[in-house]
Chain A
Amino acid sequence: MHPASSPIRPRRRRGLIPRLLLAWLVGTAPIPALGEVGEAELAAAYLYNFSKFVHWPSSVLGSGNEPLVLCVYGRNAASGAIEMLDGKSAQGHRIRIDRLSRGEALTACQIVYISTSESPYLAPLLRSLANRSILTVSEIPSFAAAGGMIGLVKQDNRLRFEINRASAEAAGLSISSQLLKLATRVVQR
């Protein structure tokens, strides 16, 4: 009644192929399991970093207690992740997240993250923001070339960024050299 403990009975060999497959799966696992990183979280992390490496004129963002307002403009899949930045501090200011829908005024923002849903309206939107000290960031393709300040671009599953230095300077913003160095492309015109 104890076949399991019988010393005579040879152990049944499990299929070689499943075991090889399993071994291979385990063996080939990339060491950092980066499977959980969504584009939204990454975009939010970039926005947080940008808020630390861009300098606003003191007339816009003084030394007082006023918050640094980051506006998410348009219907955006990343807005949930960006809202996690609310309350964090950057350059001594508390970050405040405002969700704005199409057509709402952007004058109270220091950073505007423009949703890709707004790409048809990009030209008038950028015109309305021209020369205001508002940092514009977006994932819209060729955003920086179109006159936006920082364009997030996806390259080989990584998120990179392009900077339009001329647009930023015209708006009175100075972008740290460290950021410029890391940009995949810097537009000068």
Chain B
Amino acid sequence: MRTQLWANLTASLTGGILMLAATAALSEDLTELSMEELLAVEVTSVGKKAQSLSDAAAAIFVISNDDIRRSGATSVPEALRMAPGLQVKRIDANKWAISARGFNGRFANKLLVLIDGRTVYTPSFSGVYWENQDVMLADIDRIEVIRGPGATLWGANAVNGVINIISKSAAATQGGLLIAGGGNEERAIGALRYGGEPAPDTFARVYAKYNARDALITSLGDDGRDEWDIGQGGFRVDSTLGAGDRVTLQGDLYRSSLRQQLAMPDPLATPTFTDPVDDHLNAQGWNLLGRWERALSVTSDMALQLYYDHTEREEYYIGQRADVLDLDFQQRTKAGERQDLVWGLGYRSMSDDFDNTDTITFTPTSESRNLWSGFVQDEIELLRDRLRLTLGAKVEHNDYTGWEIQPNLRLLWKVSEQSTVWGSVSRAVRTPSRAERNSSASTNIKKTGLPPPYPQSVLVNTVGDTGYASESLIAYELGLRTTPTKRLNLDLSLFYNDYDQLRTSGTASNQASPTSAGDLVLTLPFANNAYGYGYGLELAADLQLREGWRLALAYSYLDLDLTASADTLDTSNETQSRADPRQQLSLRSLMNPRPNIDLDLWLKYVDNTYPAFNSAAYSDQIIPGYWTLDLHLAWRPRPGLELTLVGQNLLSESHLEGYQDAYAAVPLEVQRGIYGTICLDF
């Protein structure tokens, strides 16, 4: 008993002395410390993030695994709200609209999203079904959010930004992890992962997860009838071969069932000309990816990647299946003293198959297309460790518009150890989607207001056009990153985007023809008759207020001004240019009152917006600006066990963020939510 006490006392005394020694020495010089003392020193990680970013001549924001965990987000879209320059709207329980630097909407098409090198966009509309990108958040290493064109490296559709979701290597996810929980909005949260080393230098993990989410509500407080659930599983194997080659094989499989409320156009259903539809839909998919990386010499390496991605989605107005096969080769090599050269070749085959309905038809119903690409980028060190010039271009050939060239020029100047200034000029294009080329969609029905025998209603049909070309952008960017003190990082980006050949529907060649029922059908083909500009500012600040208390701020300002040529009837560019909030703010406070307790607050502000399209009943109604507050509380009573309590959207009972862009019924509001989880490492 007494010896036990004595041992405890000496142990804590020694510990205390070590700590004190470490503290005393810190103010002077770490090199004075002994090895044992160094082992006890804690590192602040705030500086490292800035240092690794200070080398990039682009507007990059990195969301770390820790940022995701402490945000309380249960999905990637919710975590993205902390990044500056991104617009995120939840438009019903299972739909998010996400874009960078504007043009947001359910079918936003100027943002490229990759998960471990796999493009997750849907070829039918060039956008992302976010609800089905349900990666295991605990196994994400980081999410890189790049605003501005990334087309030179990533190709067409990386127009306004790129989101790179990068999962941890299998070696970094060894052992078991179990997460279970639920709440009033997050009805069920479950995830299980196990990682092991099946052979020497070969690491593997398998995982499965399930989420069920409650419906939103209408402004009257009625059930939004849009609840949903998704189950996903997958694996990853990373192996280092004898010669130092690294091989990765990974795959995922998911199935989701979703519910949505639609208002479908119907000329006989007076006076609204819409029929309500309670749609239960399924979406599923799987993917398999292999990557082989090899060092060719001390200054040259290559990577070869092949993936296959299958998705299907059946909903009331269209059924779609898509298969993508993508092969990508990249080599990096040092050319001379001061140049780093990267070049690559890519091939992608896309095939789709549609189940047409009375509302939407694709002709032909199935099609295969090829995309060939090559790029080269040279990083030239003009002044060693000071001034770096990056020149590059990507050349692509697609079956719709032929050759596309997307060059960029970037300059990075390291003013001092603390500060970096960068600037860039780049061009990017968004190539046409399948819908823009050969679909026909009955979008809405308008009353003519004329007395009989004149037609009573006009059926508006938006149709694809084989003459539809790529939208293009020339972007000018300027950025500053600085670390005025070790506790503060500032990252400021300014941009001016000059858009041309933007999409419009309806031109002087609009054709109106009568139906047998005596209504008029107005056919509006897609055309490239709009242009415009966007400019804005994004600021990210990270302040380590004191040990165990960090503040992270993101502020965005955006102004989009779009003009359609005079002969077009289309007002969608007008509505699109007000669909994004002019100002947004995210302020996170991440506090550790004790090392085993997280107490985190997240305050967000989003300015007024409007729906992106003007085809549905509530499309003209403003979506008021709103403030929200989230709370994340975590307690780790012992290593390997974490209890979490999260409150979301705490400031009001519910708030409106967006409105469905296609066949929307009534607007739905996001509710206050509370959930808890248990997280066990084993």
Contacts and interface: CB of A to CB of B under 8 A. Distances in A.
Interface in B627-682: none
B35 A32 contact: no
Interface in A116-153: 120-128, 141-142, 145-146
Contact of B51 (A77, A124, A125): A77
B453 interface: no
A44 B298 CA distance: 24
Contacts of B295: 120-125
A38 interface: yes
Given A36-B486, A102-B334, A75 B41 contact: no
Interface in A12-40: 24-25, 28-40
A36 B488 CA distance: 11
Given A33-B547, A159-B43, A146 B244 contact: yes
B2 interface: no
Contact of B55 (A41, A75, A84): A75
A158 interface: yes
A42 B546 contact: no
A56 interface: no
Interface string B244-264: 110000000000000000000
B35 A34 contact: no
A35 B300 contact: no
A45 B244 contact: no
B48 to A, nearest CB: 5
Contacts of A41: 30
Contacts of B384: 101
B569 to A, nearest CB: 54
B334 to A, nearest CB: 5
B383 interface: no
B244 A124 contact: yes
B542 to A, nearest CB: 13
A49 B35 contact: yes
A84 B32 CA distance: 13
Contacts of A102: 298-299, 334, 340
B487 interface: yes
Interface stretch (B19-27, B507-515, B520-528, B552-560): B19-27
A77 B52 contact: yes
A178 B300 contact: no
Nearest to B27: A36
A146 B83 CA distance: 36
A160 B201 contact: no
Contacts of A85: 31
B162 to A, nearest CB: 21
Contact of A159 (B41, B47, B297): B41
A163 to B, nearest CB: 12
Interface string B175-198: 000000000000000000000000
B40 A103 contact: no
Contacts of B549: 25
Given A75-B55, A121-B298, A124-B298, A35 B35 contact: no
Interface residues of B, number: 58
A121 B293 CA distance: 10
A141 B172 contact: yes
B417 interface: yes
Contacts of B300: 121
B594 A28 contact: yes
A146 B295 CA distance: 13
Contacts of B35: 49, 53, 178-179, 182
Contacts of B594: 28
A46 B300 CA distance: 30
Contacts of B3: none
A107 to B, nearest CB: 13
Interface in A152-174: 154, 157-160
B544 interface: yes
A8 to B, nearest CB: 41
Contacts of B301: 120-121
Contacts of A159: 38-39, 41, 43
B299 A146 contact: no
B270 interface: no
B591 to A, nearest CB: 9
B31 to A, nearest CB: 4
B243 A32 contact: no
A24 B592 CA distance: 12
A80 interface: yes
B171 interface: yes
B31 A88 contact: yes
Interface string B46-84: 011001101100000000000000000000000000000
Contact of A34 (B41, B47, B293, B332): B41
B19 A31 contact: yes
B41 A37 contact: yes
Contacts of A44: 30-31
Contacts of A146: 240, 244
Interface in B340-391: 340, 381, 384-385
A37 B296 contact: no
Contact of A38 (B20, B44, B55, B299): B44
A15 B294 CA distance: 63
Contacts of B51: 40, 77
B4 interface: no
B36 interface: yes
14 contacts: A25-B546, A36-B486, A38-B44, A39-B43, A42-B43, A77-B51, A123-B244, A123-B245, A124-B296, A141-B171, A142-B240, A158-B40, A182-B36, A182-B39
Ordered nearest first, which 9 A-B pairs have the shortest CB separation?
A123-B244, A77-B51, A32-B23, A45-B30, A120-B301, A103-B299, A35-B547, A48-B31, A38-B47
Interface of A: 24-25, 28-42, 44-46, 48-49, 53, 75, 77, 80, 84-85, 88, 99, 101-103, 120-128, 141-142, 145-146, 154, 157-160, 178-179, 182
Given A35-B44, A35-B487, A44-B31, 9 more contacts: A35-B544, A36-B486, A39-B47, A101-B337, A103-B298, A121-B298, A123-B245, A124-B296, A179-B35
